[in-house]
Amino acid sequence: MSQEDPDPYIFTSGSLPLDERFLPPLANGLLGWRVFNGIMHMGGVYNGQLGQCHRADIPCPLAATLHPKEPSEHTFTLDTHKGVFIHSVRTAHVSATQSLYAHRYHPHMLVMEVLMERLDTTQEPFTLELNNSFTPHSTDITFQSEPDYKGGSYIKGNTLTPEVSGGALFSVHLIWTPVPGTLTLLSSQTQSRWVFFTVVADSTESAKAFFDTGLQLIAEGDLFPSHCRAWAELWAGCGVELSGPATMSRALVGCLFYLLSAFPFLRDAPPQFGGVSPGGLSNGREGQDYWGHVFWDEDTWMYPNIALFYPPLAKAVLEYRVRTLGGAKENAKQQGYKGLKFPWESAVTGREVCPEDIYGEQEIHINGDVILAFQMYLYLTQDLAMFQEGQGSEVVWGIADYWVSRVTWSAEENCYYINGVMPPDEYYRNVDNSVYTNTVAKLSLQFAVDLASQIGYPAPPEWKRIADTLKIPFDSEAKYHPEFDGYKKGNPVKQADVVLLGYPLGLPMTPEVRRNDLDVYEPVTDPNGPAMTWSMFAVGWLELGEAKKAQEQLSKCFSNIQEPFQVWSECADGSGAVNFLTGMGGFLQSVLFGYTGFRVREKSLYFSPLLPDDITELRVRGVSYLGNKMDWEIKSQEVCVTVREGTETSGKAEHCPLEVVLKSSGRKIPLKPGQAVIIPCQPGEIQKQE
């Protein structure tokens, strides 16, 4: 980046978005808040029973905006290097900066700092007004006041309604330093700083302990520095940067920043991590942004990006699913099937919380989506302990048993059917043999058989028999995959469905069939459908070597990116969920798995790079594989791969020496830590050294 180029990690504007939904969200894997908003959320804290379950609104004491009493200039900046939002005010005599952040290392804490500095030699006092929309009340939590604690105001309460009848209510405790209506720079001062913070916890003891930590950090001058160090550690372990269009660079940084913000810190994944919803932690109020529920969006669209960089954070997603095993078992039982049926919409218990029954009953591909996440983790880490000790195998066996009980045999076609489903394309329901659903079911069963072999589990023979004979719809004359039995070519499609067969599912097919699937479904896909769709068309065209066509598809995503803070909307017209992490995840995958050609396979990390003409170099920092961290620099003619020295991605991951194998020649080149290896820009594999 030259001195003239703007920093793609810093988003700056002289004004705020007219639509407050596109104010930047600040989150840290536990707390989420849209700046200046009077409401925040805490991961895993919901109110309402089953279909009425939604993120519980928690009042935010830091919902204050700066208002000087004289003419002023305003600048608003989101610095993603440090995970801080800054409102800067400048008058003729004084400058003031308001810094807001969700503490990255201490996740129970939100912080506001205000700094005022005198710009001239006048010694008049200067007063700044703070307009605060905070009220200590919630429609979801019965708060009551408690005695102040060390100068902090304190309220506590319980949610009103449990997720399931007879279930536990959530306890929420808030302690915060009160924010006054004005701040004054005294005549004797050239500058002054004020620090306000809020802690949220589930008990009195925890809330007071977190508040004590905040006071200690302030006294030591380490509140903001400790937050910055945590973000620096995250960014040191991952990154996607390119030499090319500035809009593309900003979009990639924004996507990765907001996605990382939805996950806990590296060394301290909290046991209450509640998964990732389409709108992240800052959204999910009753009736909005999918109510804060967790969908396949987490496992299919967001997870692969995180897993490629940070297997420990990916593991937190798997552990969330493990914690919901009981609910998944009950869902299957209620539907009359065996094993596990993970909910289409999930909260805390694993019970189905979708407000409309048909989605929970028919959009059963969620089971296969969950399994693909477990499979990818194993292939990246070889961490069998997650399956033997961490209950991952219970998920795999339970889903396999579900598919066994869900299929029916067709004597006419001599294969198994899965009938009465809704595919990812939600324009259709109660269809038979959704090609996507059947494919993820097949992959689930195959993975169950393979895992059972690895850990010595006696796999029931029907797992393999059904996997081998499950119908995968295919039109042999037109050489394409119909979306389901009876689909008529040319009928409208809501979103990516059949195009997912090639990636991420990896269903074997010829280039001709892959091209036909793209050609058939691209023109009939709803242009106002969800944002992640076009990314998958882009990946498909990149697989076929058509970089120009891929860019045409990827360029459609920019209509969903709302300036100036790179906040995504679900739909191109700005409607739907906001801070749409699903779309961001798809966009990132188009680069991390599209431009690079990365494919996580059982015994290798495959690559097949291809860059469009307007990108001269792609840098992917921190790729994790078998306990190693790799940095990639991809250019049109060559690729540079460097294994970092002294880095291991997870205490559980198998740390193995690696080698690169070039596909065209079969040449094997050892990857020695700290030594760059330059190879031609062509397909190959990273694998364990023989």
How far apart are alpha carbons 74 and 7 in whole angstroms? Answer: 20
Handedness of CA 384, 385, 386, 392 (dihedral sign): positive
DSSP-derived secondary structure for 409-442: EETTTTEEE--SB--SSTT--SBS--HHHHHHHH
CA angle, 389 then 399 then 521, to 5°: 125
Q: Any residues with CB less than 8 A from the CB of 272 and at least 6 apart, and which? A: 30, 43, 44, 202
Give the DSSP H or E segment for 303: helix 303-309
Residue reference for tokens 């921190």: 622
CB 35 within 8 A of CB 112: no
Closest CA to 240 of 312, 317, 315, 309: 309
Q: How is residue 677 written in tokens?
A: 């290896």
Report which residue type is found at 659.
Answer: E
**In degrees rounded to 5, what are phi and psi of residue 89?**
-125, 135
Name the E strands within 69-160.
73-79, 84-90, 94-102, 109-118, 126-132, 141-149, 152-159
Give the other-Cβ count within 10 Å of 151's Cβ: 10
- Pick the catalytic residue from 117, 129, 146, 426: 426
Q: Is 426 an active-site residue?
A: yes
Q: Any residues with CB less than 8 A from the CB of 113 and at least 6 apart, and which? A: 98, 99, 193, 194, 195, 196, 223, 224
Closest CA to 345 of 686, 51, 682: 51
Active site residues: 426
